Every structure is written in structure tokens, then in C-alpha cells.
Chains A and B, each alone.
Chain A
Amino acid sequence: MNRFMIAALGAALASLAPAAALAQVSPIELKGDVKVDTVVVENGKETHVLVEPKLVVPGDDLVFSTSYRNNGATPVKDFVVTNPLPTAVMLAPEGADKLVVSVDGGKTFGALSALSVAGTEGKARPAVAADVTHIRWILPVLAPGSTGKLTYHAIVR
């Protein structure tokens, strides 16, 4: 190996270094999952069981979840998770009032009961779960190592 080649290698390594610095590993890890919420009736009692989505048809209750974890050594603040709803599903009405949602494509967020959408004849009507386009979760602080799971139910349209 001659000196010229070593010099060239050095230059190559030098040019790689800034790129590696940019590709900083996020301290936050998000993992999405989906299950089907099925109702099993046993001895007259209804129990909900989450199963793998092997078979999904309109009307099914899907449970989308996003698990988060702070893998960093320092606390993470102002942690905001936003989930656009797939257009083929609608937010399940049950429990929808406990979420922070958007009905205008993610421009504004709030409690469903406080939102309205354009109705017929130009009049605004109160928003319903089926109008929701985005869901948002806000956590002020994630301590190092803390984990959690954010879920929502959606009905296949």
C-alpha cells in the first residue's frame, strides 16, 4: 500500500464521519401493532379477546397500538405521538371522548365533543367518531427507560 492510497482512505473516512454524526440514533423507539378485538361468548358471558388480524372484514373492531420506550439516558420532554387514521377505518365511538383528536386532517386538535365539522346546507354539526382523521397523545416527560402503549379502537368501514 503506498502513501497515496493511505491518503485516499483517510479522505474517505473523513468524509464518512459527518454523515455518521447526522444519523443520530433516536432515544425514542416506537413500535406499531394491530389486533382484532373479538367477542367470545362463554356461558353467556362476553369476553373480549385480541387476536392476530388473520381475517378482517368490514365491521371488525381493530386495535391499533403504538408502544414507546425511552432508550436514552436522559429524560425526553414534550413527547407528542400523532397517528393519522387509515381512511378505511373509523374511530370506534366507544372511548372516543377520552382521546385528543382532529377532524380536519391534523390542523387542529381537541376533545371530540368540542369539535364540529361542516354539515349539510353549510351548517356546522357536532363531530362524531367517524369524522376523526388523527389521534394525538401528549406526554410531558418520559423518564429514561420508561415504556408505555398507546392504543385506539377502530372499526373497519
Chain B
Amino acid sequence: MKNQLAMRAAIGSFAFVSICTAVLPGTAHAGGVAAGTMIQNTASATYTSGTASGTVSSNTVSVRVDELLDVAVSGLTSTPAVAGATDVVLEWSVTNTGNGPEAFNIAVNPAVAGNGFDATVQQIVVDDGDGVYEPGIDQVIANGAATPAIAADGSVKIFVIVTLPGTATDGQTSQVDLTATAATGSGTPGTVFATQGDGGGDAVVGSSTATQTDNDSLIASLASVALTKDGNTIVDPFGGNQAVPGAVITYTLTATVSGTGQADSLHITDAIPAGTTYQPGTLTLDAAPLSDAADADVGQASASGIDVNLGTVAGGTTKIVKFDVKIN
């Protein structure tokens, strides 16, 4: 019939009645027309027959848009998170790239091939929408459990709280995988879950296979402390260096903190050896005197022993504590 078709730019003077399709509930967006949208098509015609003109409409054909199951996952911790003694918060975004509201099951796997250590997963937290990790406010979910439904084209942040295992050593790296899978189902693109689509239709797996994984990485930043004690400096009452009664021994305690991390709450303590007496006012830290009293400075000393509270000491630092005792 093609040869009967004639294109005419001008449409002449005859009347035309347009029958518009119903207003559609769905709006177009990146993920496509919303699942459940009814696509309705009606054609109408005008014509003349003899001297009369007429109009006629076709039946309306309707197609329901089914739900496309798609997801995108992105690790947001672009440079490895530095993990020391405290909790580390790793972040991912999970985006519903389908066309209907969908919940996604979140599975976190800290045991990734090639890891120097496997981080210990403490908590999986779904952001409440402000993009900021708020303990006690954001929703905690079990590993493998589902997020609340995410709107089509919407995305949600997932926070994973991890700690270093005891076996981790300074400088080791590790990856943590997060996998989001459409709660309705996943699989080969085109897999159909009959009648399970949002809006009353079917659900069908899209090109993402409805399950995606991305990783965040972390690096262990730890410090080790080595302590040496030296008591070789002896001055006897006779001007020599014999360990005789009345001789004064100077003890030198050297704390060497190494690694990229820091040593927290580092105390250097030592007991006064039996048969000796602490010499008041001789306690020093890095050659600076410390008072014996338990007061504002970091050191204290008594007849029983000394205690220097170094607090937090960064890796690569050496601290030297000295004190004198007299042999009884």
C-alpha cells in the first residue's frame, strides 16, 4: 500500500479531531520510564465521503512498562583509608539504575584475594540521606540484608565500619568488597521475574545483571615500640666507676617508636632496683628535668619507681628517660 501514501505538507481545510493519549503517570529519567507506566496509543482519522466529512478513532492499544532491575556500585574511598588502632569508616554509593523502586541486598566481603590482612567488619550502615555517617542515627543492617527501597535513579551511601585484625602489620594493604544485588532478583540480563515488577508488571534483569561489586582499600598504619635500658654509668664516692655502696648509677631508658603509625598512651615505667635508693630530682625526659611529684609535668618518681607518661608518640621518634639511684 505504500504507493498510495502521498506526503503533503499542507493539510488543506478539512477538520481534524485529535484524540490524545491519557496523561501518563511516569516521567522519563535516566533509568527510563517508570515501571508500571501504561503506554497507550490511539490513532484518529478525518475523511470526506461524498459531501459529508467524518472522523473515526482506532481502538487504544496499551502496553505496560515492566521493571528493569539494574544497579551501580561505586567505592568512594578513593585513596586507601589509613587504619590504625581506631575504627575506619569506608564508604560506597549504591545507585538504582533501574526504573522502579527497589531494595538491594548488601554483602560485604573483607576477604579479597591478595589482601595483606582481612579487615574485621564491625557494622554495615545505610545512610539516612544526608551523606554523613551518623552513628546511632543511620540504620545498621546485617551483612547480606537489604537496604530500604531506593527510588529509580536514586542512590544511597553505605558505610562499612572496619577495624584492623591483630595480625595486621604496618604498611600492609587490604581491600573490602561490597556487593549490591536487587532484592527482586539478579542474573543474566533478560532474566524475568514474572509479576514481581513494580507497578504490576514483570521484573527483568538489565545489563548490569542487577548485581554489582566494587571495592574500597585500606592500609595499616601501625607503630612498634622498642625499649632499652642501660645502667652502665656508675660514679663511686671515690671518683671511680665501681658498683660499691654509695656509688650512683644513672639508668637510661630509650623508647624507640617505629612504623608509619603512632603509639598511643605510651608509658615508660621502671621499678627502683632492690638495694638502691632513688635520688630525688634526677628524673629527666630528653634531658629536660621532670619533678618527682605527680603534677602537671608528664613524669613522677618515688622510692618505689618512676613513671613517665609519653601519651601519643609518632613513629620515627625516640624518647630518652634518665634517673639516678644510689647503691645502699
Contacts and interface: CB of A to CB of B under 8 A. Distances in A.
Interface of A: 24, 26-34, 53-59, 62, 64, 66, 68, 72, 74, 76-89, 100, 106, 109-111, 134, 136-140, 142, 146-150, 156-157
A30 B31 CA distance: 34
B113 interface: no
Given A88-B24, A148-B4, A57 B99 contact: yes
A112 B50 CA distance: 33
A77 B45 CA distance: 11
Given A77-B47, A86-B41, A55 B192 contact: yes
B54 A28 contact: yes
A109 B11 contact: yes
A78 B56 CA distance: 13
Contact of A66 (B18, B58, B192): B58
Contacts of A28: 45, 47, 54, 56
Nearest to B10: A109
B43 A32 contact: yes
B42 A32 contact: yes
Contacts of A77: 47-49
A55 B204 contact: yes
B39 A156 contact: yes
Contacts of B49: 27, 72, 74, 76-77
Given A32-B43, A32-B61, A57-B65, A86 B21 contact: yes
A84 B32 CA distance: 20
B43 A109 contact: no
A138 B6 contact: yes
Contact of B58 (A32, A58, A88, A139): A32
Interface in B7-33: 7-9, 11-12, 14, 16, 18-21, 23-24, 26, 28, 31-33
A110 B6 CA distance: 13
A146 B63 CA distance: 29
Contacts of A68: 45
A59 B32 CA distance: 8
A16 B231 CA distance: 127
A103 to B, nearest CB: 14
A58 B98 CA distance: 9
A31 B58 CA distance: 5
Interface string B162-192: 0000000000000000000000000000001
A37 to B, nearest CB: 13
A78 B11 CA distance: 9
B33 A88 contact: yes
A78 B47 contact: yes
B1 A147 contact: yes
B8 A138 contact: yes
B309 interface: no
A55 B39 contact: no
B228 interface: no
A56 to B, nearest CB: 5
A87 B24 contact: yes
B47 A109 contact: no
A136 B14 CA distance: 14
B7 to A, nearest CB: 6
A88 B41 contact: no
B77 interface: no
B41 A76 contact: no
B7 A100 contact: yes
B41 A83 contact: yes
Contacts of A83: 41-44
B308 interface: no
B186 to A, nearest CB: 15
A58 B61 contact: no
The residue among B4, B9, B47, B99 with the most chain A CB atoms within 10 A of its own CB is B47
16 contacts: A29-B56, A32-B61, A53-B63, A55-B192, A57-B66, A66-B43, A76-B48, A80-B11, A80-B45, A81-B45, A84-B21, A86-B24, A86-B39, A89-B39, A100-B9, A138-B7
